[in-house]
Structure 1
């Protein structure tokens, strides 16, 4: 089966849009989130991940990746520790990369 591309958009829960509400617990979840994305990269599923700058209600992140089915895509999104542990909400979209620039040059 051919892999399809997907994007999930992440947003912090409202409480966490203020620095003062962050604790060691949330910071640890973000560390697990980053490790999860690294594993997706190592498994050659992750295309791109990043976030907007700042920390407010407009802050969001995106994860662009490949999966064989929408069910697998949902499973990957819902398996992200930031989503699973409730510090971020996520929304899945079918996606298609049109252009990619190699930024390593």
Structure 2
């Protein structure tokens, strides 16, 4: 089965737009989120992930990855610890690579 590229866009919930609102629990959730993405990188599913700076109301992250179906992609997104833990919201999009650098 061919894998298709997808992207999900992550946004911090408004509480975390300000550094002083970050709790130890939220930081731990983001650490677990990072390890979750690393696992997909090791499996060859993750193409790239990152976020914009600084951390404020304009901040967003992206996860570019491959999945067999849109439902499989949605499950990866829904199970992201940052989403499950309520630190971030996510929105999924099918993604078509037009150009790719080395």
Please indicate the TM-score interval, normalised by the length of the shorter structure: over 0.9
Structure 1 gaps of 5+ residues are: none
Residue 26 of structure 1: CA displacement?
A: 0.6
SS at match of 1:101: coil
Give the aligned partner of residue 82 of structure 2.
Answer: 82
SS at match of 2:73: helix
Give the aligned partner of residue 44 of structure 1.
Answer: 44
How many residues are aligned here?
Answer: 102
Give the aligned partner of residue 66 of structure 1.
Answer: 66
Structure 2 gaps of 5+ residues are: none
- Structure-2 separation of matches of 1:38 and 1:100: 21
SS at match of 2:74: helix
> Structure 1 runs of 4+ off > 3 angstroms?
none
Alignment of 1:3-22 (within 5 A): 3-22=3-22
Q: TM-score, normalised by structure 2?
A: 0.97
Cα RMSD between the aligned structures? 0.7
